Amino acid sequence: MSDIACKKRDDYLEWPEYFMAVAFLSAQRSKDPNSQVGACIVNTENKIVGIGYNGMPNGCSDDLFPWRRTAENKLDTKYPYVCHAELNAIMNKNSADVKGCSMYVALFPCNECAKLIIQAGIKEVIFMSDKYHDSEETTAARLMFELAGVTFRKFTPKYSKIVIDFDSINSRPNQKPHWFTWLLLAAIEAACVLSIQSSYHGGCVEKEVNNSCEFLPAPENPEGQTCCEDAPLLPWPSGIAMKAHGYA
């Protein structure tokens, strides 16, 4: 059995990235055209016990209530009606309570949500953005958190982007996920074995054999021509191959 099949993945999501990603994914359910915020509540066993996003209350039509931020009459804005992500996450809890839990949220909570968080017994808030840091609502929220003993910290992601690929589930366990990467790796080997020392160029011919791919090293070909009519030659930049092996 190959080493690849015997070892665990190294690129899996760690708990913090996973929980914040759930919060961001939940935010995609929001109908708010200006601000989409999600929240994820996690207990001490790293189990999700509540998820929410900002939206209108149950029974209040998303099409009838206003979503604008400013108007002469405040009743014509979203603010008197909309439920924030933190409120919905607490109300959507699937446990008896959320005491001692942590909340992952895209945006630092406002003062009203801070009250709910404190009263619910949540002990930690991890947020991604604090863009309203100097507002009165956020200032009040920080003050209440500090006095109530609720810790809060900014989330520092290891990845700037997490991609959900629905097609990945259809790949076979032993299937190479990225053919292009494997072709380039084969090109490196070709450069080290077959190329002249002054250029370190390499290539790889992809050949179909019995409905599978066979990778064959190809010697340097400055003009980019293939060794056979239909197989593509993938050039490798000068010097890169030896650097990959630690010799340059």
86 is catalytic: yes
As a whole number of angstroms, the distance between CA 35 and CA 101 comes to 25
Q: Are 113 and 87 in contact (CB under 8 A)?
A: yes
What b/e readout covers 174-192, taking b as 16+ CB neighbours within 10 angstroms?
eeeeeeeeebbebbbbbbb
SS percent in the chain: helix, strand, coil, step 5: 30, 20, 50
Q: Are 151 and 121 in contact (CB under 8 A)?
A: no
Of the candidates 45, 72, 86, 189, the residue annotated as catalytic is 86
Residue 200 to residues 148, 190, 234, 242: CA-CA distances in angstroms?
A: 64, 9, 14, 7
Catalytic residues: 86
